[in-house]
């Protein structure tokens, strides 16, 4: 069969292919079914943006921790309990009134898995990968975020094994909130740098 | 390689569309692909190249017509075939079997020890720094030009950076050099830096205002400007 004949790209075709591959590799004793189940469960349940949100809130509420996080991201994140594949070295970038950082991987879809989980579809899309480096402000507009021209936009192309995560600004009006409440408002997109964290009062 | 995967600055891909409350895996086969890929790490199926180069080597039309997990699936399958673990004929036959038997599922093999090993990979912290004794040839503040290289093998120097001038802003240590030539040859670890480029340097008069681009450059990617 040629590639073109293969290429239906409906879910069922990929599903069929996956079943065939898994079945053959299991039969040859190369992979274990339960190991695959565990990988799936881990990324569905245990590793996701809630990890990064905990890191962000700790930085918002503990100035000494924030200092460590910005200087040595990997070890500061390990303090909170997060390590693993696609996070061998994590550099944390602080957004301020004057600087807005955002992260892309133009060559692939590299992403800090231990703190943010697996990347969302838009991060892996050709549109984001091609445009984020050349027209970041226009891309941010697609996300509903319009930045003042005075704000310096810093785009990080994640081309090496180093992974980047954004420390978003703590919104005004959140002084009385508990850490648990703060964790709830830190969205995944703010830690990639395509959104800001809104204060809960301004959301609705 | 100057492949379709090297997308920085390309036009024509449209708006970035954002899905609210997106699930981790949209279909269960995507999760299986993720698990298969991780399970195959210990079998070194992508050597002498790597997983990324296997994905990059898909034809441009197949690359663009495939989703992220479809690309990973094809790379895993192509790697397993290249290593001789499975054959293309076996794949065709097995697919035909599942086509005829849509309710059938792959047989199961349970191995608690293997799962333990794979969970270790998932949570392992593997430092990137290599103690080679190599001293960095550039200092923070140095003005550098990205080399104009066009290797056919794997590289992490994107086209839009080549030939452009920037400033070294940080030295990260010595990391494995990622480039792999067509014969599967690799080089020694090298110093790696964060290098800052002005948007205007990269995109000329059409650049957006007040923008900087940061990218990681191994020593071999840059020269004094």
Compute the distance between CA of residue B75 and CA of residue B63 in angstroms, rounded to an integer. 11
Nearest to B8 among A19, A78, A106 (CB): A106
Nearest to A20 among B13, B98, B215 (CB): B98
**Contact list, B6 vs chain A (CB under 8 Å):** 106-107
Instruction: Clarify whether A130 is annotated catalytic.
Output: no
CB pairs A-B closer than 8 Å: 299
Instruction: Clarify whether A23 is annotated catalytic.
Output: no
CB contact under 8 A, A159 and B216: yes
Compute the distance between CA of residue B99 and CA of residue B95 in angstroms, rounded to an integer. 6
**pLDDT (0 to 100) of residue A202:** 57
Q: pLDDT averaged over chain B?
A: 96
Q: Tokens 């600004």 appear where?
A: A169
**Contact list, A103 vs chain B (CB under 8 Å):** none
**Contact list, B209 vs chain A (CB under 8 Å):** 137, 149
Q: Model ipTM?
A: 0.96
For A66-105, what is each residue's pLDDT tens digit? Answer: 999 999 999 999 999 999 999 999 999 999 999 999 999 9
Q: What is the mean pLDDT of residues A22-26?
A: 98
- Per DSSP, helices labelled H in A28-159 are 33-41, 49-61, 63-71, 73-79, 113-116, 121-124, 126-131, 136-142
DSSP B154: B
Q: Tokens 């790209």 appear where?
A: A9
Strand order in the sheet with B222-224: A99-104, A152-157, B211-218, B190-198, B165-175, B143-146, B222-224
Compute the distance between CA of residue B130 and CA of residue B2 in angstroms, rounded to an integer. 28
Nearest to B24 among A15, A44, A156 (CB): A44
**Contact list, B21 vs chain A (CB under 8 Å):** none
A195: nearest CA partner in chain B = B18
**Is the bond leading into B81 cis (omega within 30 degrees of zero)?**
no
Instruction: Clarify whether A2 is annotated catalytic.
Output: no
Please name the helix (run of DSSP H) or strand (run of DSSP E) that holds residue A94, with its range, or none.
Answer: strand A89-94
- Show Cβ contacts of residue B82 under 8 Å, excluding neighbours closer than 6 positions: B45
Give the model's confidence band at A5: pLDDT under 50 very low, under 70 low, under 90 confident, else very high: very low
Please name the helix (run of DSSP H) or strand (run of DSSP E) that holds residue A92, with its range, or none.
Answer: strand A89-94
In a 10 Å sphere around its CB, with 0-12 CB exposed, 13-18 middle and 19+ buried, how is residue A52 labelled?
buried
pTM passes above 0.90: yes
Give the model's confidence band at B110: pLDDT under 50 very low, under 70 low, under 90 confident, else very high: very high
Compute the distance between CA of residue B53 and CA of residue B78 in angstroms, rounded to an integer. 12
SS3 A181: helix
CB atoms inside a 10 Å sphere around CB B109: 18
**pLDDT (0 to 100) of residue A200:** 85
Of A38, A83, A55, whose CA–CA distance to A188 is shortest? A55
For B169-215, what is each residue's pLDDT tens digit? Answer: 999 999 999 999 999 999 999 999 999 999 999 999 999 999 999 99
For B64-94, what is each residue's pLDDT tens digit? Answer: 999 999 999 999 999 999 999 999 999 999 9
Compute the distance between CA of residue A37 and CA of residue A44 in angstroms, rounded to an integer. 11
CB contact under 8 A, A9 and B85: no
Strand ranges inside chain B, DSSP E: 143-146, 165-175, 190-198, 211-218, 222-224
């Amino acid at each position: 069969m040629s590639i073109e004949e293969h290429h239906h790209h409906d879910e069922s075709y990929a599903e069929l292919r996956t079943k065939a591959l898994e079945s053959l590799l299991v039969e040859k004793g190369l992979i274990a079914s339960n190991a695959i189940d565990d990988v799936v469960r881990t990324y569905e349940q245990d590793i996701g943006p809630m990890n990064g949100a905990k890191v962000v809130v700790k930085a918002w509420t503990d100035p000494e921790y924030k200092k460590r996080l910005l200087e040595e991201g990997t070890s500061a994140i390990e303090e909170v309990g997060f390590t693993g594949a696609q996070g061998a070295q994590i550099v944390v970038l602080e957004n301020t009134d004057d600087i807005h950082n955002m992260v892309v991987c133009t060559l692939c879809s590299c992403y800090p898995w231990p703190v943010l989980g697996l990347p969302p579809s838009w991060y892996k899309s050709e549109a984001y990968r091609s445009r984020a480096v050349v027209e970041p402000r226009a891309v941010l507009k697609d996300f509903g975020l319009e930045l003042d021209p005075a704000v310096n936009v810093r785009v990080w192309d994640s081309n090496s094994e180093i992974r980047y995560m954004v420390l978003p600004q703590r919104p005004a009006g959140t002084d009385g909130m508990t850490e648990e409440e703060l964790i709830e408002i830190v969205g995944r997109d703010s830690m990639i740098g395509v959104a800001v964290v809104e204060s809960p009062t301004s959301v609705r | 390689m100057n492949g379709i995967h090297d997308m920085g600055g390309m036009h024509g891909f449209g708006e970035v569309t954002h899905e609210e409350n997106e699930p981790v895996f949209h279909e269960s086969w995507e999760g299986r692909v993720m698990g298969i890929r991780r399970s195959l790490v210990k079998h070194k199926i992508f050597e002498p190249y790597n997983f990324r180069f296997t994905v990059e080597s898909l034809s441009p039309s197949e690359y663009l017509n495939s989703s992220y997990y479809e690309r990973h699936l094809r790379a895993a399958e192509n790697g397993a075939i290249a290593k001789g673990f499975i054959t293309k004929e076996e794949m065709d036959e097995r697919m035909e079997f599942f086509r005829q038997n849509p309710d059938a599922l792959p047989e199961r093999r349970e191995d608690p020890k293997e799962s333990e090993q794979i969970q270790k990979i998932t949570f392992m912290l593997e430092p990137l720094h290599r103690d080679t004794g190599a001293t960095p040839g550039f200092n923070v503040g140095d003005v550098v030009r990205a080399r104009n290289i066009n290797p056919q093998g794997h590289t992490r120097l994107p086209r839009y950076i080549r030939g452009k001038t920037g400033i070294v802003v940080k030295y990260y240590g010595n990391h494995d050099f990622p480039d792999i030539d067509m014969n599967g040859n690799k080089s020694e670890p090298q110093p790696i830096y964060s290098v800052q480029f002005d948007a205007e340097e990269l995109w000329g008069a059409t650049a957006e205002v007040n923008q900087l681009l940061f990218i990681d450059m191994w020593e071999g990617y840059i020269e004094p400007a």
